[in-house]
Amino acid sequence: MKPILPEQRRVASIHDDAAFAPFDPEGLRETGTSFLKLNPEGARDVGFYIYRMAPGARSAPHRHGGAEEFLILEGELIDNDGTVYRTGDVVWLAPGTEHTSHTETGCLIAVYAEAGEEPPGGA
């Protein structure tokens, strides 16, 4: 077996604030959210990433272009329909699902998304 070269591996800690980037760098749709993504090949919200929401943060309303699965690592997340996801909950949302979420406590979420987010109301 060949060794893994330094350029073939990325490691970051979910406890390192410097590893996170603003989820919405323009700050137009949501604030208090950030993400950590190691794979530079994919779009910001596609594939696997860690999503962090500060206390009081709210996601922008969106529609999932593909299925999304996530695990609540820390805190609580509340969907617009009132569903509360707590630490340890594993969630699947179908393609085309539309929602917005918020957190009172702050939360850290491991996300896998098949496709990017779109504005709500799409086909």
* Separation of first and last alpha carbons in the chain: 47
Give the pLDDT confidence score for residue 92 in this predicted structure: 98
Give me the half-sphere count of Cα atoms (radius 13 Å) on the Cβ side of residue 112: 5
What the block records as the tokens of 88 is 């340890």
Pairing of strands 47-53, 107-113: antiparallel
DSSP assigned state of 58 = B
pLDDT at position 122 is 59
According to DSSP, the residues that pair with 21 across neighbouring strands are 35
The CATH fold assigned to 21-117 is Jelly Rolls (2.60.120)
CA distance 44 to 24: 10
Residue by residue, pLDDT tens for the chain (123 residues) are: 999 999 999 999 999 999 999 988 677 778 899 999 999 888 888 999 999 999 999 998 999 999 999 999 999 999 999 999 999 999 999 999 999 999 999 999 999 999 988 888 855
Q: Which two tokens stand for residue 66?
A: 């593909």
| Other C-beta atoms lying within 10 Å of the C-beta of residue 26 | 6
Domain boundaries of the chain, sorted by first residue: 21-117
* pLDDT score for 30: 82
Name the residue with tokens 């603003």. 22
